[in-house]
Amino acid sequence: MLLVMPVRSPFSRKEHSLQHVLRSLCTALLVSSAASAVDLNGLTAIGPLASYTKSADGITITCADQSQVRFQVLAADLIRVRASLGHGLPARDHSWAIAKTSWDVPRWILQEEPNDLVLTTDELELVVHRSPVLVEFRDAATHHVINSDARPMAYDPKSGTVAAAKKLGLEEHFYGLGEKAARLDKRRGQFTMWNSDTPGYHEGTDPIYQDIPFYLGWQDGVAYGIFLDNSFRTNFDFGANLDGYTAFSAEGGEMNYYFFWGPSIKKILGRYADLTGRMPMPPKWALGNQQSRWSYFPDTLAEQIVSRYRAEDLPLDVLHLDIHYMNGYRVFTWSPQRFPDPSGFTAKLRKEGVKVVVIVDPGVKYQSPVPGATDPTSNPELAPQDQSYYIFNQGLANDYFLKRKNGQLWIGEVWPGKAVFTDYTMEAAATWWGDALRAYTDHGVAGIWNDMNEPSDFIDQTGKTQMDIITYDGGAYTPYAENRNVFALNMARATYEGLMRLRPDQRPYIITRAAYAGIQRYSTMWTGDNTATWDTLALSIPMYETLGLSGEPFVGGDIGGFIGRTNGELMSRWYELGFLTPFCRNHAEITAYDHEPWRFGSYYEGIIRKYLKLRYRLLPFLYNELEEAHRTGVPIFRPLLLNYQNDYNTISIDDEFMVGADLLAAPVLRPAETRRLVYLPEGTWFDFWTGGQFKGGTTIQADAPLETIPLFVHAGAIIPMGPEMNYVGEKTGPLTFNIYPGAQGRVDLSLYEDDGVSQGYLNGTVRRTTVSYQATAAGAEIHVSAPAGSYQPGRRTLIFSVRLAPAAKEVLLDGHPLPSVRSGQTAPGWSKSGDSLCIQFDDNGQERIVQIR
């Protein structure tokens, strides 16, 4: 059955016929929406161990069938398993995903036993059974089996398929694999890694836009990780078969995986970030509210959207321009009719505190120049382009576009019609693409939005007719089947490196739709063309959580849903979730009813305004969590399981989430509901809105009228907050520390700050301040450390709001009494309101001690 749904289509564009539009619709809908099973039948198992050799960082075994398997010790908790099945390991060892290739080898020993080889580090035991060859990982401290092969690695010498099967534990659960339209716990599921343009996806659609072949296994409170670094089409089976095993396979290449031992999930995510790279700090304004539509044009309409935001007292930092800003949908150009003065346009919005982000697709219009036509040497992006398209000419002249085996250009079809695609695996081509971004940076564009980069092709979005395309790949000339999944990764790399060359002291801001492992080094991401339904709203939580567990800290989705018509209730509930996602953007397709917050009437707009303003007040908290993600690889948007790994109740909860370690949110995900069940893990929890307390380890019934999301703070937390703002950087203070004392009487926070825009944070231009609260026999004490680092945030007031504060008769600052002031007064002093104590004084950049008596 062919389901008709709206996808991006040109509609009234003169250069496209109605037949083209219909063909685009149909080809988009013919993309596979079901994962392929891992079929082990008919595969040849590797032979028994015949010999082995030892090197400084591991061992290599040779099997009776000439298969070779190398076990490489990278860290005490990380071992790489690289196998070439049926023949020896090739000399070339390259991955676009891997950031760290040189490791300080830890101590390890090898023991020979009659039936096994046992390689032991301080944390892991690797057991290699000789016949048949089976791999087993054990905890070095307890000798407990963590993960083991259910059968030998296997392969098909004709097709090139390689596969591994692992034993499935009775209480083993699985998480990760990047962007999946699926629930949080992947147990009993099967999934395919093959970047695919899938508009209007729903739960169960697979594959979709991006793939990260990295997953976490959890059993009895302990966790391990496996990253299958194979960019061919790969498949994963987490017990969906009836044979009691998990399995993963690839349609070519090596069996190449990394085994991570926790037992902590956070430790695994940190090690994965070591291996594939850490997210650089994006500009702070990327945490601001962002507005988009396919499309805002002409420039005067885009300006009106920004003016309306300001008139409605709605915070806004970014406006996105979709494909209609271009000249005939040619990338690296501007429409002379719709955006005749792009520099003036971006400057006008900057005065309002708004940055411009433009969409950039990989498809370059296939356009031979008219004989005699030439391209201008300065500002070619502003030229007419109808006689000669400078980007196509440059790419063709330098042989930068992908070709088929027979030497012909691969000509696909996207928005400009016939199109060619850059081979980003060719360094000169990647550099050219990155340098071409001058067409935007010269005109004040602040960020780049990479779309359609699976890559999408209206002729064949499955990629099946593209398998004879060859990629340069460092001179290896590898097939498209191996590099389709890294196409978007390399496009993001070219974009990131280009922006770094063009603006070396500014932080690049890039958004991507498709991705492979390692994408966090270059880009943030969003979950593509979702739908305006309650089901999609609910699905977004496990999707964001899964992306975070797959090494991508900065994620989000189209608030309100990209495809279809939303309403005020759905939009309000969506913002009640979206105001806490790292990427917060409202976006809609070209035929959808307008999605801007004021479109649904003042009541719903008031709810949206409430949460956008709260997001901006929470920016110090969110930015602090963002820096932790940059430093540790642990995501901002988290499933409860990540913070409460030993709590069995959390293993499948995916209708709640946490931001950092202490803020828990339970959005309403169904229409007309005003109450919902909320599970609170161990400890004491404060209601964010009322200050009421709840004992954890239980499920409560929470009130949730339309204007309220159930929101809780764990006792023992400090939540830093700033002032209300129209845009990031508008104000410097006051800075408020909301203190929620815990059972131990002590609370600590390390606050990170920097300028939010430059690369200075890499050179120490930062500020770290430790704030501690300690209950004492006399009352309590707050200690503010002397800041470390050279960054200076400017003059501001510090406010400390203490929940459940002790009865206070006096408050001393650095040994001197502070005056008692009326609640809400802005002068230095202290006041009491209910069970909360408020203390404020100026930040002088020195160590401060507050005593509450």
Distance CA 206, CA 190 (A): 9
In this structure, what DSSP letter does residue 853 have? Answer: -
Contacts of 43 (CB under 8 A, 6+ apart): 154, 155, 156, 161, 163
Instruction: Scan for tokens 């009691």, then name that residue.
Output: 244
Q: Tell me, what amino acid is at 247? A: A
Distance CA 251, CA 195 (A): 14
In this structure, what DSSP letter does residue 305 have? Answer: H
Q: Tell me, what amino acid is at 834? A: G
Of 665, 439, 412, nearest to 544 by C-alpha is: 665
Of 390, 473, 387, 370, nearest to 438 by C-alpha is: 390
Q: What is the DSSP string of 538-601?
A: HHHHHHHHHHHTTT--SEEEEET-SBS---HHHHHHHHHHHTTSSEEEE---TTSPP-SGGGG-
Of 424, 383, 436, 418, nearest to 400 by C-alpha is: 424
Contacts of 165 (CB under 8 A, 6+ apart): 38, 40, 149, 150, 151, 154, 245, 246, 247
Contact present, 223 and 452 (Cβ < 8 Å): no
Of 110, 147, 121, nearest to 259 by C-alpha is: 147
Contact present, 566 and 593 (Cβ < 8 Å): yes
Cβ neighbours, 10 Å, residue 109 = 8
List the beta bridge partners of residue 798.
735, 841
Of 105, 54, 97, 59, nearest to 78 by C-alpha is: 105
Contact present, 150 and 142 (Cβ < 8 Å): no
List the beta bridge partners of residue 129.
116, 134
Helix (H, G, I), strand (E, B) or coil at 648: helix
User: Rg of the chain's alpha carbons, rounded to an integer?
Assistant: 28
Contact present, 522 and 492 (Cβ < 8 Å): yes
Contact present, 698 and 680 (Cβ < 8 Å): yes
Helix (H, G, I), strand (E, B) or coil at 91: coil
Contacts of 458 (CB under 8 A, 6+ apart): 20, 23, 24, 27, 28, 412, 413, 414
Distance CA 165, CA 236 (A): 10
Point out the residues that are catalytic.
451, 454, 529
Cis geometry, peptide bond prior to residue 207 (ω within 30 degrees of 0): yes
Contacts of 752 (CB under 8 A, 6+ apart): 623, 624, 627, 628, 766, 767, 768
Instruction: Scan for tokens 């709001």, then name that residue.
Output: 801
Our measurement of the distance from residue 60's CA atom to the centroid of its chain's CA atoms, rounded to an integer in Å, reads 36
Distance CA 164, CA 171 (A): 20
Q: Tell me, what amino acid is at 790? A: S
CA angle 277, 282, 285 (to 5 degrees): 165
> What does the block give as tokens for 402?
């992908």
Strands 447-450 and 234-238: unpaired
